[in-house]
Amino acid sequence: MGFLGSLNQERIVFAIAVAIFVVAALTLPGFFTADNLVAIVRSVSVLGILALGMAIIVIGRGIDLSMVAVMAMSVAWYLQMLGNGMSDGAALGLALAGVVAIGFANGFLVAYAEVPAIFVTLASASFVYGLVRSQLIGSDAVPVPPGHWVAELGALRLADVPVEVFVFAGLALAAFVFLRFTKWGRYVYYAGDNPAAARNVGMPVRPMLVLRYVLSSLVAFAAGILTAGSLQSMNTRVVNSPQLYDIVLVTVIGGIGLAGGKGGVRNVLIGAALIGIMLNAMTILDIPLLYQNLIKSAILLAAIIFDGVLNPRDEQTAQQGDI
């Protein structure tokens, strides 16, 4: 039991990531170079940022499937307003207000109307996409106005490292401090472990739930700004891409149980490391994208099954607030 007991998903995934890294460094030409290592970190930065938002939701026994839609559509709308000549302050204010409103609506429906999170956020994703695409923006892709701060942000590098890496690091630190050291962060764990007990002991379970969905929407907006900065535009077709499921992959694979109450920022970092290393190695090996998706999905499924075996859910408590 001693060995098996210490064998949790986090450690296994970490070991696999290290193993792939070592094998790739020894066998793949051009893998173990400074440029490529920076590229790996950069490639998972935006994903990692989104996964931080998702992690806070999942730890509280929820899920947010609207993150990619909020990310793409809020930033596209923001850029469209800029393109239409609105002042930066007004445009940013409106976009942020929209983002907070969606997060609030998600949270309110989950917490107070008690609709399962998976349906609420699935519906709000479609709603946000449809509303913004049909009413607020003119085309699928909206360019960043030349010379705007978003464009400059995308080109910004500190010591040859792109800015999104620093943003990822900063947000990871902030999320870590929030989850680990603030009482509201701990409320997330308590509510994720047993919502009824958290309510009975006097924690503000429902307001905290709303706050989490607002947070994840804001995180999505930040990720969207970084994406638009590096690509110089925001392509809203990303809503229909598998990116959402990459976020879930990064979140879950590092050991954040879908049952809630478990995991933290470290798990997101490990998940992001594995996915970054793997995708990079597969790209160098020239594995077609279709097969990459196949491999990713197999890994996600394996991680979830493994999580289910290692952390069996309890019948009684699992019934409440199931996603």
Partner 1 sequence: MDDAILRLEKITKAYRGVPAVREVDFELRKGEIHALLGENGAGKSTLTKMMAGVVAPSSGRMWLHGRETVFATPNAALEAGIAMVFQETSLVPSMTVAQNLYLGSEKFLNRLRGTYISAQQFLQSLNFPVDPAAMVETLGAAKKQMVEIARAVHHNAEVIIFDEPTATLTPEEKRHFFALIRRLKARGVSIVFISHALEEALDLSDRITILRDGELVATGPTAGFTRETIVAAMVGRTLSDALYRDRSAAGTRKAGQKVLSVQDLSMGAMVRNTSFSIFAGQVTGVFGLVGSGRTETFKVVSGIYKRDFLRGGAVALDGRPVRYTVPREAVRDGIVYITEDRKAEGFFETMSIAENIYSGLLAAGHDHAWYVGRAEMAAVAAEWTQTLNIRAINENARVVELSGGNQQKVVIGKGLVQKPRLVIFDEPTRGVDVGAIAEIHALINRLANEGLAVVVISSYLPEVMNLSDRILVCRQGRIVEEFSPGEATEARIMYAAVH
Q: Which parts of this chain interact with partner 1 (CB under 8 A)?
A: 180-187, 189-190, 193-194, 196-204, 206, 261-262, 314, 316-317
Name the residue nearer to partner 1 (CB basis): 197 or 295.
Answer: 197
Q: How far apart are CA 211 and CA 189, in angstroms?
A: 14
At residue 321, φ and ψ (nearest 5 deg) are 60, 35
Name the residue nearer to partner 1 (CB basis): 232 or 317.
Answer: 317
Token pair of 256 as six digits: 């954040």
Name the residue nearer to partner 1 (CB basis): 235 or 317.
Answer: 317
Tell me which DSSP letter residue 136 carries. I
Closest approach of Cβ 316 to partner 1, in Å?
Answer: 5
Name the residue nearer to partner 1 (CB basis): 131 or 197.
Answer: 197
- 306 burial level (CB within 10 Å; 0-12, 13-18, 19+): middle
Name the residue nearer to partner 1 (CB basis): 42 or 186.
Answer: 186
Closest approach of Cβ 137 to partner 1, in Å?
Answer: 40
Closest approach of Cβ 323 to partner 1, in Å?
Answer: 17
Name the residue nearer to partner 1 (CB basis): 189 or 221.
Answer: 189
Structural element, H or E, at residue 55? helix 34-59
Closest approach of Cβ 206 to partner 1, in Å?
Answer: 8
Closest approach of Cβ 173 to partner 1, in Å?
Answer: 16
Name the residue nearer to partner 1 (CB basis): 36 or 311.
Answer: 311
Closest approach of Cβ 3 to partner 1, in Å?
Answer: 18
CB 177 within 8 A of CB 71: no
At residue 159, φ and ψ (nearest 5 deg) are 50, 45
List CB contacts of 116: < 8 A, sequence separation 6 or more.
Answer: 110, 322, 323
Token pair of 232 as six digits: 């110089």
Token pair of 309 as six digits: 């075996």
Closest Cα partner for 121 from 112, 108, 132?
108
- 138 burial level (CB within 10 Å; 0-12, 13-18, 19+): exposed
Closest approach of Cβ 263 to partner 1, in Å?
Answer: 11
